[in-house]
A and B are shown apart, each in its own frame.
Chain A
């Protein structure tokens, strides 16, 4: 009954006209950035962080969440029609979605992708509602050792699931912690690695780093490759509603995709991209006709598209209940909540029920909006896709510059953004992952704080992480994950996935 009461409370917040408007703006912008290759939800949310100063925290969060799950919807459109994924999580949709379009079935592909996303997204919200409150109550009992071990587990899983070298992923994690801890010591107030620069006393800003690492570096790579003109599949998109056979073929993949995506969304490092890849592999395994995969099988669209949306819902659980972001977008979200003066974690549901239930219920409303928005407006998105990259990239760079400047009105932040843009560009060329760096940067200060507190509590003994059951469980999991990466079979698999991602 409590849940029902809370859901109604959430609806009373979301259905305020101003919040409906922000939800709509969020999903509209989300779909747009999902459609446009070259700018993702991470950079867009960072760009719009100043909005948190102007509107109420609830409205701001509703809008920013809309951008995140909206981008998952939009990403599939480009995969199906142009064979260019708008988002990393839609890469796998290219395989069968584009083939369906070539066979004159672009309509059903887009339709099942929208419906699958809607079902996955909605069921994930139900899961979020059911799991988050009890988990938050349990996590109230957590102390510094538990938080430290869970953050270490999160970073380990993220590094493990990152494509490419595990050693390099950990290197990026270590570097992220170093950058994240720059600024005043939380215990003594001593400036650390500030080199006399006052702008660094509060640390290196989140937004300039995100903009540089994910916005500027992406533009640099695209400029380097040369954009070329995108060829859009010139066909009349008709019959967006999938037929009965399509539904029969897609029903089970959608259910499996929901469960898989939701579960992988919760795990740090999992997220929409891994969810869509895993769902595709799973559907191919379950299919009676695996040979059809890659040649236009609707299951290859339904499963991954459902999974990536369910994952974006699941990703809110660790952030809202433990205050630990499981992926980069959630890390930026954490930053947004902090700007609003809201501390994500076990007390969020108690102290700010309006934000928690408002954001959760807005996802229902947002998912409905997305179905309405995506199906009839596909023609419009196709037109958006025709904008040449030579027009698009100056705009992306310009908005990154405004985004980095706007939070502190500081040109120093612009310099930081450019520096991380170059660093991100080089990192991607030399196969160093940005995601472990970003997550470590965000959790770095919390990790340091809980480690030092734990050591103070235990008088210098690291056994404190093994005496307490939850902390010990997390440490054992870290150990198992690290050991498992040494097995030749898993090593081979990681290499294969990394090569596959490089190809796409």
Chain B
């Protein structure tokens, strides 16, 4: 548990440092009389550094409490699977077009995470895509990409 606490703090510490450094180098602090473009980033980045250090110190000094496990006994592999599916969807969205890519994404989600019957998966996917075309495409005039197949 303590180790996990450290990871979070180190991450935010790195974010604070990077933001402050980049803002100072590229944007400049300016002066208090005339604050520069990087002024707010340097202030908040420094605040993030200070707070991360305080939290790190707290985590270091605190007694180890027995808390629920963060990763074990949970199905985080399923989350990774969904994440991969969503990433591929975004990657091929313009190329394959809205209709095709959305249909395959829906099927993937229905079948891979918690298997659903094929006919239910196909029927719901088709209905939802059709409904989104009507509501978002026709009514709200959102331009969905048609992809290589032009659908």
A residues at B contact (CB < 8 Å) = 50-51, 53-54, 165, 167-168, 170-171, 174-175, 177-178, 181, 185, 187-188, 190, 192-193, 216, 219-220, 223-227, 389-391, 393-395, 397-398, 401-402, 405-406, 409, 411, 414-415, 418, 421-422, 425, 429-430, 432, 444, 447-448, 451-452, 455-456, 459-462
B residues at A contact (CB < 8 Å) = 4-5, 7-8, 12, 15-16, 19, 22-23, 27, 31-35, 37-41, 44-45, 47-48, 51-52, 54-55, 58, 70, 74-76, 78-79, 82-83, 86-87, 89-90, 93-94, 102, 105-106, 109-110, 113-116, 120, 124, 128, 132, 136, 139-143
Report the minimal beta-carbon distance from B57 to chain A, rounded to whole angstroms. Answer: 10
Are B41 and A418 in contact (CB-based, < 8 A)?
A: no
Q: Which residues of A contact B44 (CB under 8 A)?
A: 174-175, 177-178, 181
* Number of cross-chain contacts by CB at 8 Å: 163
Are A192 and B8 in contact (CB-based, < 8 A)?
A: no
Q: Which residues of A contact B32 (CB under 8 A)?
A: 455, 460-462
Are A414 and B79 in contact (CB-based, < 8 A)?
A: no
Please, could you name 23 A-B residue pairs with CB atoms under 8 Å apart, sorted by A?
A50-B140, A54-B140, A167-B55, A168-B51, A171-B55, A174-B51, A177-B40, A178-B45, A181-B40, A192-B38, A193-B22, A223-B78, A223-B79, A225-B74, A389-B114, A393-B109, A397-B86, A397-B109, A418-B86, A448-B39, A455-B33, A460-B32, A460-B33
Bound complex: CA of A394 vs CA of B124, how far in Å? 10
Closest A residue to B120 by beta carbon equals A391
Bound complex: CA of A401 vs CA of B23, how far in Å? 32
Are A401 and B89 in contact (CB-based, < 8 A)?
A: yes
**Which of these, B33, B105, B136, contacts A459 with CB under 8 Å?**
B33
User: A54 with B90: in contact, given A190-B27, A193-B41 (CB under 8 Å)?
Assistant: no
**Which of these, B40, B45, B82, B93, contacts A448 with CB under 8 Å?**
B40
Are A224 and B8 in contact (CB-based, < 8 A)?
A: no
User: A192 with B27: in contact, given A390-B113, A459-B33 (CB under 8 Å)?
Assistant: yes
Q: Which residues of B contact A406 (CB under 8 A)?
A: 136, 140, 142
Are A414 and B93 in contact (CB-based, < 8 A)?
A: yes
Are A455 and B105 in contact (CB-based, < 8 A)?
A: no
**Which of these, B22, B79, B124, B143, contacts A391 with CB under 8 Å?**
B124
Bound complex: CA of A447 vs CA of B44, how far in Å? 12
Point out which of B38, B40, B52, B142 has the most chain A C-beta atoms below 10 A from its C-beta.
B40
Bound complex: CA of A206 vs CA of B35, how far in Å? 26
Bound complex: CA of A324 vs CA of B132, how far in Å? 34
Q: Which residues of A contact B93 (CB under 8 A)?
A: 411, 414
Closest A residue to B8 by beta carbon equals A430
Report the minimal beta-carbon distance from A394 to chain B, rounded to whole angstroms. Answer: 4
Closest B residue to A53 by beta carbon equals B140
Q: Which residues of B contact A226 (CB under 8 A)?
A: 75
Are A53 and B141 in contact (CB-based, < 8 A)?
A: yes
User: A398 with B102: in contact, given A224-B75, A418-B87, A455-B35 (CB under 8 Å)?
Assistant: yes
**Which of these, A223, A430, A452, contacts B70 with CB under 8 Å?**
A430
Q: Which residues of B contact A223 (CB under 8 A)?
A: 75, 78-79, 82, 113
Are A168 and B55 in contact (CB-based, < 8 A)?
A: yes
Q: Which residues of B contact A447 (CB under 8 A)?
A: 40
Are A418 and B83 in contact (CB-based, < 8 A)?
A: yes
Bound complex: CA of A227 vs CA of B32, how far in Å? 54
Given pairs A225-B75, A409-B142, A414-B93, 17 additional interface contacts (CB within 8 A): A53-B140, A54-B139, A165-B55, A171-B55, A178-B19, A178-B41, A178-B44, A178-B45, A192-B41, A193-B22, A223-B113, A224-B74, A224-B75, A394-B124, A406-B140, A448-B39, A459-B33
Bound complex: CA of A429 vs CA of B72, how far in Å? 12
Q: Which residues of B contact A175 (CB under 8 A)?
A: 12, 15, 44, 48
Q: Which residues of B contact A429 (CB under 8 A)?
A: 70
Closest B residue to A396 by beta carbon equals B109
Q: Which residues of B contact A411 (CB under 8 A)?
A: 90, 93-94
User: A395 with B128: in contact, given A53-B140, A181-B41 (CB under 8 Å)?
Assistant: yes
Q: Which residues of B contact A178 (CB under 8 A)?
A: 15, 19, 41, 44-45, 48
Q: Which residues of B contact A177 (CB under 8 A)?
A: 40, 44
Point out which of A51, A168, A171, A418 has the most chain B C-beta atoms below 10 A from its C-beta.
A171
Q: Which residues of A contact B16 (CB under 8 A)?
A: 174
